[in-house]
Structure formats: C-alpha cells, structure tokens
Amino acid sequence: MRSLRPVSWAISFDMNRVLWKKMAILIDRYRTWITVQGIYRDDWFLFVSGGLLKRYANPVFNLIVKWPRGNKVRGQVIGISEYEMNRAIRKLSNADTGFARRIRCLEPTPEDVEAIVLEASWGYVQLELEVYDKNLRTNKQPLKDDLE
C-alpha cells in the first residue's frame, strides 16, 4: 500500500512571479499610503554557513512609502525578500485552507495580500488597502437619475 505524501505549500518559481504580479496589481489598485516600486529586482543577502560568511542574490518585493505613516517617512523603500514572502504564505496556508486554495489558484484577495505582507514583514508593514465599489458614491450627492 502506498503511503500518502504530505501536502507541500511551496510554490514554484513561475507561480511565485505570477502571484507577485497579481499582488502588485492589487496593492496598486487599492493603495492608501504605500505602493509597489518593483517586484523583479534582486538584492544581496548575507548569511553564515559553516563559519563562513556567504552572500546570495534573492528577488525582493519593494514597496515605497507615498505618505508618511508612523515611523515610515515619504520615499522610504521597504524590501521584503522572496524567502520571507514564501515563509508567510506557508504559515498562512497551514492556518487557513481557503487562503491556500486562493493562492494555489493564483487569485489572492486584497485581504490575503495584506495578511501576506504583514506576516512577511514581521508586522512592520500594514498596507491598509481600501477596497471600494467604484459605482458607490459615498461622498457625493446622488444623481438626479438615482432619485427617480
């Protein structure tokens, strides 16, 4: 009898790039104080292995602050590495099967994007995306046609 393999929430390189692009689109569409600067740039990271300092290039999801918020100043660039994004996705996928399904289908919601960035940045970046209906006229007087 064959044993069942454990489910892995790791995503492939191509899937990761598509997911990052969809996340960038959602952040750009519903942004409030921060927006995406770039998603394909590599940065150098250092780590110690076997007593030696090694460096490697890793893709980074760069966010740029448009409006000052808390201890973040206008123009500040916040980079979140691919490793941290994957760690956050794995953690959130293990906690919520609906989230895992949406990520595997490459259909993240704005709430999913907020959760991923918050977890990947260790609570440093809270996007506060504003999801609104474009047909909803909240701060304007209703049109005459709407009243009839």
Range of the domain at 29: 13-129
Amino acid identity at 92 = L
5 found inside a domain? no
Average pLDDT, whole number, for the chain?
80
136 found inside a domain? no
Mean pLDDT of 25-36: 89
| More confident: 1 or 58 | 58
Segment holding 78, helix H or strand E: strand 77-81
Mean pLDDT of 8-14: 52
Cα within 13 Å of Cα(86), Cβ side? 15
105 found inside a domain? yes
60 found inside a domain? yes
138 found inside a domain? no
**Per-residue pLDDT at 145:** 47
Segment holding 108, helix H or strand E: none
First to last CA, the chain: 70
Q: Which residues pair with 42 in a beta bridge?
A: 59
Please state the domain count of the chain. Answer: 1
45 near 58, Cβ under 8 Å? yes
**41 confidence band (pLDDT: 50, 70, 90):** confident
Amino acid identity at 42 = D
1 found inside a domain? no
65 found inside a domain? yes
**134 confidence band (pLDDT: 50, 70, 90):** low
Digit-coded pLDDT (tens) for 52-80:
888 888 888 899 999 888 888 999 999 99
Distance of alpha carbon 26 from alpha carbon 47, whole angstroms: 32
**Per-residue pLDDT at 108:** 92
Q: Is the pLDDT of residue 146 over 70?
A: no
142 found inside a domain? no
